[in-house]
Amino acid sequence: MSNKVHLGHTARKRFGQNFLTDENVINRIVGAISPDNDHVMVEIGPGLAALTEPVATSIDKLIVVELDKDLVERLQEHPVLKDKLEIHQGDALKFDFNQLVQQDKQMKVFGNLPYNISTPLMFHLFEFAEHIKNMHFMLQKEVVLRLSAAPGTKAYGRLTVMAQYHCQVMPVLEVPPGCFTPPPKVDSAVVRLVPYKEKPWPCKDVELLRNLTTTAFNMRRKTLRNNLKQMLTDEDFEQLGIDAALRPEQIRVDQYVAMANHVFDKK
Ligand code: SAM
């Protein structure tokens, strides 16, 4: 049988389908998620239920968002799971997670994500951060390195700044390609993201911070002065105590927030 066929389903590349098959890895991820009934439990991309089944069987209800209609049908007909799942067929990138919020319950969100949409999906989920207790995601290892990067390193970029603005980021475990069917071409890793209840560096306008970091990292080899010249003057940088001759990856998250707040105050 082709290594693309798992449990009678042919993996679809366009949906980023690499199904987890390693029991040990599955158990470790479920342990990290720590499913419970005190939170709204949400899985993105349940696929063939590698994580769905152990999570759903240990709680009352699991909400899943899955794009592939064939996989949704399988879940709807699953003898054990069908009564436990609330299934939303659709694109997680466009999904309004606010509709899942219950007054007194925060969400725990998890998934072995399709790697082709993982960065935009992270940005999408940050918009709901205040309603999220924690997130556990399997991602391309390179993306986990970017999420958890320190200033001054190659992996440090706009995804790092926005992730670390919203969340505490903790790499959990590395997962080699052989743990999936079919095996992906890249190494993978699981990351835990815990949104701050109170932000260490509050920002007055998060959209502005997002735009500013996108602009700052547009040309990584250029200086802040150059990249941000439409937004900040030399005088602004002086007031902020930030060296405008530095490159974008040398600037800390709190300094990005300070720049965004400065631009906000100037308006
Ligand atoms: N959770 C399963 C596992 O661990 O074996 C499947 C993981 S597979 C890497 C990614 C899953 O996300 C697939 O089931 C795929 O159909 C689904 N998917 C792909 N794009 C999606 C999207 N935009 N929104 C929701 N689900 C998506």
pLDDT in tens, 175-194: 999 999 999 999 999 999 99
Q: Is 258 in the pocket of ligand 1 (CB under 6 A)?
A: no
Q: Is 47 in the pocket of ligand 1 (CB under 6 A)?
A: yes
Is a pLDDT exceeding 80 seen at residue 265?
Answer: yes
- Cβ proximity of 43 and 65 under 8 Å: yes
ipTM score above 0.95? yes
Res 82: pLDDT: 87
Res 64: pLDDT: 98
Q: Per-residue pLDDT averaged across 198-215, rounded?
A: 97
Is a pLDDT exceeding 80 seen at residue 128?
Answer: yes
Dihedral over Cα of 107, 113, 115, 116: its sign: negative
Res 14: pLDDT: 85
Q: Is 181 in the pocket of ligand 1 (CB under 6 A)?
A: no
Angstrom CA distances, 121 to 110, 168, 265, stand at: 12, 17, 30
| Token output for 67 | 């794009």
| Residue 15 Cα to ligand 1 middle (Å) | 6
Q: How far apart are CA 28 and CA 71, in angstroms?
A: 24
Q: How far apart are CA 245 and CA 173, in angstroms?
A: 37
Res 133: pLDDT: 97
Res 2: pLDDT: 62
